[in-house]
Amino acid sequence: METTEMMSYDIVIVGGGPAGLAAAIAARKNGTDRILILERDKELGGILNQCIHNGFGLHTFKEELTGPEYADRFIQQVYEMNIEYKLDTMVMDISAEKVVTAMNRRDGMFRIRAGAVILAMGCRERPRGALNIPGYRPAGIYSAGTAQRLVNIEGYMPGHEVVILGSGDIGLIMARRMTLEGATVKVVAELMPYSGGLKRNIVQCLDDFGIPLKLSHTVVDIEGKERVRAVTIARVGKDMKPIPGTEERYTCDTLLLSTGLIPENELSAGCGVEMNPVTKGPFVNEIMETNIPGIFACGNVLHVHDLVDYVSEEAAKAGEAAARYVQSGCAEASGDRTPIRLVATGGVRYTVPSTIHTDRMDDLLTVRFRVGAVYRQAYVSVYFDDERVQHQKKKIMAPGEMEQIILQKKKLLERPDLQTITIKIEEDDTADPMKGSSDGRNMSHTNESSGAADSTAQADHLKEA
């Protein structure tokens, strides 16, 4: 343990989950030798290790895998490529100069000078406190992911009788898991008038077992001084406030919370990475680079995903870009042109990326986004400055489903003066004055959500509630 000498790596990857693994592999494939993955858990794979349900990897591997199996495909590649990693290692600090400070039992506290840093820390669950749920604070209240770890990895049962708040996919998956392990799940309450989870999960995790889903409901009281004894839920009005008189009390010993995921960006913010207040993740450009040259972000630390396949895809792009960055002598590779700004408006909450340097984008660039409400028979419109160039009708869009459009490099190059690309939802086709000028040839548009049934196989755990 030499404390005075600083280690040095071409690329340091913070996090050995699906994003970090895919980034590392892509960086190695693109010719980077000295790569180090820092992982805080005692094994690689991240949250996938506890996501033992199936539905992962249809895009990437064309077969349906469980979380651990999906992770293992990447872990084996990391082994084969001899990519270095340190387990049980916590990153304590990242500086804007790309010095990473980390710590573990064996090496103590150490600093690494990195040519490039890839942020792949994932996300955490929103705790009860953030929801201001009134009542006592007894044992038996778990975030769904913590319960998932206890049941699936450690082999312990949190309780016998369960109420779940939040119908995000993690909550739904845990409803089934607890049921299969012998617990009784009494009800799943969801604050919103729609579930954030997939239809498949509602059918196969709740309906299959006769578990009621109560939309527009929330928890208004928790009883039990030592251990949860009962939970009261009530209907909420349009203002999301509980309606007096609609209370229903459920005796139970466990309350699981599946009420949202928050990208874990304390380290990113600490080194001056600019954050998007909507995603709670960094703003990135077309190569997943943050505002600090050479610091990249991918996976759920960037924005919370539905599909682990997309995490892997984005992370590979970040890994490849980081490799190019270090090979080019860490020079900023983005030409002189001011980047094109992507504007999310009219029902579109955010886009990833949020800026594009046309000269270094790939021939096709996927722009991912989420909508803020449920839209039926509405249009995804794309404007190049003031001109609408894309107007695509969608049967349904929902906040729980990530959407995407694909931009073609050659179309952007045709417009050297282009400043902004606006993506918005338009509900009424006739309202738009540019109607008729819609030109689908400008970009191809994929519509995952109305694709084949198979494409709904999801990385359930990775999804925002």
Partner 1 sequence: MMQKRDLTCIGCPMGCQITVELDGEEIKSVTGNSCKIGDRYARKEVIHPERTVTSTIAVTGGDKQRCSVKTKGNIPKDMIFECMDAINRVSIPAPVKIGDVVIRDVCRTGIDVVATRNIHKA
Partner 2 sequence: MLYDVIIIGAGVSGCAIARELSRYRLNICVLEKEEDVCCGTTKANSAIVHAGFDAATGSMMAKLNVRGNEMMDQIAAELDVPFRRNGALVVCTDPEELDGLQQLYDRGIANGLKPDSMEILNREEALALEPNLADDVVGAFHAKTSGIVCPFLLNIALAENANVNGVDFFFNTEVEKIEAEDALPNGEKIWKIRTCNGEYRTRYIVNAAGVYADVFHNMVSSRKIHITPRRGSYCLLDRAAGNHVSHTVFAQPGKMGKGVLVTPTIHGNLLIGPNAQDIENKEGTNTTADSLNEIIEKAARSVKNIPMRQVITSFAGLRAHEDGHDFIIGEVEDAPHFIDCAGIESPGLSSSPAIGEYVRNLLEEKMKPERKKNWNGIRKGILNPASLSFEERNELIRKEPAYGRIICRCESVTEGEILDAIHRPLGARSLDGIKRRTRAGMGRCQAGFCSPRTMEILHRELGLPYEKITKSGGDSRLVIGRTKEHSGEE
Gap between the Cα atoms of 219 and 68, Å rounded: 33
269 is a contact residue toward partner 1 (CB under 8 A): no
106 is a contact residue toward partner 2 (CB under 8 A): yes
Is the CB of 213 or the CB of 302 nearer to partner 1? 213
Least distance in Å: CB of 415 to partner 2?
Answer: 39
Task: Count CA within 13 A, CB hemisphere, residue 374.
Answer: 7
- Contacts to partner 2 from residues 232-251, by CB under 8 A: 242
Which residue of 7, 52, 99, 103 would you call a contact of partner 2, by CB under 8 A? 103
In angstroms, how far is the first alpha carbon of the chain from the final one? 44
Is the CB of 67 or the CB of 242 nearer to partner 2? 242
**Helix axes 18-29 and 67-80, enclosed angle (nearest 10):** 30
41 is a contact residue toward partner 1 (CB under 8 A): no
Q: How many CB atoms lie within 10 A of CB 417?
A: 5
Least distance in Å: CB of 161 to partner 1?
Answer: 18
CA angle 356, 281, 464 (to 5 degrees): 115
The helix/strand/coil state of 101 is strand
Least distance in Å: CB of 109 to partner 2?
Answer: 5
Q: How many CB atoms lie within 10 A of CB 198?
A: 25
Least distance in Å: CB of 378 to partner 1?
Answer: 13
Partner whose footprint covers residue 103, from partner 2, partner 1, none (CB < 5 to 8 Å by kind): partner 2
Contact window for partner 2 (CB under 8 A) among 7-15, 54-62, 122-130, 187-195: 122-130
Partner whose footprint covers residue 93, from partner 1, partner 2, none (CB < 5 to 8 Å by kind): none
- Report the C-alpha dihedral over residues 295, 301, 302, 305, rounded to 10 degrees: 150
Q: Which residues pair with 84 in a beta bridge?
A: 36
- Contacts to partner 1 from residues 149-208, by CB under 8 A: 151-155, 177, 180-181, 198-200, 202-204, 207-208
Contact window for partner 1 (CB under 8 A) among 17-25, 51-59, 80-88, 324-332: 51-59
Gap between the Cα atoms of 47 and 122, Å rounded: 9
104 is a contact residue toward partner 2 (CB under 8 A): yes
The helix/strand/coil state of 114 is strand
Partner whose footprint covers residue 49, from partner 1, partner 2, none (CB < 5 to 8 Å by kind): partner 1
Contact window for partner 1 (CB under 8 A) among 14-22, 115-123, 146-154, 250-258: 146-154
CA angle 59, 63, 68 (to 5 degrees): 95
130 is a contact residue toward partner 2 (CB under 8 A): yes
404 backbone dihedrals φ, ψ, rounded to 5°: -150, 155
Radius of gyration of the chain (CA): 23
Is the CB of 429 or the CB of 448 nearer to partner 1? 448
CA distances from 277 to 199, 265, 266, 282, 283 (A): 29, 12, 13, 9, 9
Is the CB of 98 or the CB of 391 nearer to partner 2? 98
Is the CB of 133 or the CB of 397 nearer to partner 2? 133
Gap between the Cα atoms of 40 and 174, Å rounded: 24
The helix/strand/coil state of 231 is strand
Gap between the Cα atoms of 183 and 181, Å rounded: 6
Q: Which residues bind partner 2 (CB under 8 A)?
A: 1, 3, 40, 88, 90, 92, 103-109, 124-125, 127-130, 132, 134-140, 142-143, 145-146, 149-151, 153-160, 181, 220-223, 225-227, 242, 253
Q: Which residues bind partner 1 (CB under 8 A)?
A: 49, 52-54, 64-66, 68-69, 72, 151-155, 177, 180-181, 198-200, 202-204, 207-208, 395-398, 400-401, 449-453, 456
